Amino acid sequence: MRIEPVNDAVGATIHDVALSRLDDAQVAEITEAWARYGVLFFHDQDLTPDQHVALAVQLGEIDVNRFFARVEGHDVIAAVVKEPTDELNIGGGWHTDHSYDPAPAKGSILVARDVPPTGGDTQFLSTETAWRTLPQDLKERVHGLVAIHSSDHIFGPKSDYAKRMGDRFGNSEAVNTSEHPLVIAHPVTGNPILYVNPAFTIGIVGMDNAESKPLLDELYTHIASDEHMHQFKWAVGSVAMWDNRSTWHHALNDYPGHRRAMHRITLAGEPLAAANVPQPA
Ligand code: SIN
């Protein structure tokens, strides 16, 4: 297999591999590249749903999303679908999956099944690169902080998804709120990562909204810089695997009147520990 980084910040394209029949050495190589590059892209894979599940099982333990519709006959695959008549899409703002859970998902594997004639790209960025490029004064201001994440306002009973898409959205028993260090250590590499995101982070422990919002907004402006990003163009059969600890993603909603259908499997992760970064002087 050939690994080609897409830029200096995030992502690599993997060539010359069939995800439907990985041997142990290839699984190890992909696992290493995944932690290193944050998101991996594959083309022309034509995975069946059963092969998608088998691939996920080779790479980890499946963590079924509690909100999304499921693919018929495959209860562990979430259907990420926008019909031609829908206005809202799933994932249409910067986020990382499941940060509201006590043990957030380690990654997601998305397979393109139906793509619009133009548009429907997904943007990815590296929150690990964003930590490296964060100005020193901001590094000092976030030192030791803990952020609060919730799914209630996004998927709970009062959310836009519940009002406009129904389905499993609005199930108050499925919503979660959790706290995680604002700068986490990547569970595989140990590298520091900014672990907040505009969709699910609702505050910072010990701060009121008037104090936490400007700080979070400052971090988001820094993180969402073009220098940390790559925009991926899908074709039917493309696959993207992203690491939910070290990246954000954003599904662009720029294809009105067309259908886009993706299948997503999410992999279980572990509780996140604070990064070992130097104490401010
Ligand atoms: C998601 O946010 O998981 C969906 C991303 C996409 O559809 O591109």
Which is the closest atom of ligand 1 to the Cα of 240? 8
Pairwise CA distance, residues 162 & 67, whole Å: 10
Give me the catalytic one of 95, 98, 149, 250.
95
pTM: 0.94
- 19-44 pLDDT, tens digit each: 999 999 999 999 999 999 999 999 99
Residue 192's nearest CA partner among 200, 203, 181 is: 181
Is any ligand 1 atom within 6 A of the Cβ of residue 249? yes
Tell me the pLDDT of the chain averaged across its residues.
94
Pairwise CA distance, residues 104 & 269, whole Å: 5
Poorest-pLDDT segment among 3-12, 155-164, 170-179? 155-164
Centre of ligand 1 to C-alpha 254, Å, is 14
Is any ligand 1 atom within 6 A of the Cβ of residue 80? yes
Residue 21 annotated among the catalytic residues of the structure: no
pLDDT at 281: 74
pLDDT at 172: 66
Which is the closest atom of ligand 1 to the Cα of 120? 8
Poorest-pLDDT segment among 86-95, 111-120, 257-266? 86-95
Task: For residue 77, name the pLDDT band (cuts at 50, 70, 90).
Answer: very high
Centre of ligand 1 to C-alpha 259, Å, is 14
155 HSE (CA, 13 A, CB side): 26
pLDDT at 160: 73
Domain made up of 2-267: CATH architecture: 4-Layer Sandwich (3.60)
Task: For residue 151, name the pLDDT band (cuts at 50, 70, 90).
Answer: confident
pLDDT at 190: 96
Poorest-pLDDT segment among 3-17, 120-134, 149-163? 149-163
Centre of ligand 1 to C-alpha 207, Å, is 31
Out of 241, 262, 266, give the residue to mutate to test ligand 1, the one with the largest number of ligand atoms within 8 Å of its CB: 262
Centre of ligand 1 to C-alpha 132, Å, is 26
pLDDT at 95: 96
* Atom 2, ligand 1: residue with shortest CA distance: 91
Residue 75's nearest CA partner among 65, 61, 88 is: 65
Residue 95 annotated among the catalytic residues of the structure: yes
In this model, does residue 97 exceed pLDDT 70?
yes
pLDDT at 168: 61
Centre of ligand 1 to C-alpha 203, Å, is 24
Pairwise CA distance, residues 196 & 201, whole Å: 6
In this model, does residue 174 exceed pLDDT 90?
no
Strand 122-126 relative to strand 247-251: parallel, antiparallel, unpaired?
antiparallel
Which is the closest atom of ligand 1 to the Cα of 78? 3
Pairwise CA distance, residues 257 & 272, whole Å: 40
Is any ligand 1 atom within 6 A of the Cβ of residue 262? yes
pLDDT at 271: 97
Residue 97 annotated among the catalytic residues of the structure: yes
Residue 264 annotated among the catalytic residues of the structure: yes
Give me the catalytic one of 36, 52, 63, 97.
97
Residues 6+ apart with CB under 8 A from 47: 19, 20, 55, 111, 237, 239
In this model, does residue 173 exceed pLDDT 70?
no
Residues 246-256, mean pLDDT to the nearest whole number: 98
- Per the model's pLDDT, the better-predicted residue between 177 and 53 turns out to be 53
Per cent of the chain over pLDDT 70 is 95
Domain boundaries of the chain, sorted by first residue: 2-267
- 252-276 pLDDT, tens digit each: 999 999 999 999 999 999 999 999 9
In this model, does residue 166 exceed pLDDT 70?
no
* Atom 1, ligand 1: residue with shortest CA distance: 91
pLDDT at 157: 72
- 178-237 pLDDT, tens digit each: 999 999 999 999 999 999 999 999 999 999 999 999 999 999 999 999 999 999 999 999
pLDDT at 58: 98
Map tokens 């069946």 to a residue: 48
A 10 A CB-CB count for 235 gives 9
Out of 39, 80, 97, give the residue to mutate to test ligand 1, the one with the largest number of ligand atoms within 8 Å of its CB: 80
Per cent of the chain over pLDDT 90 is 84
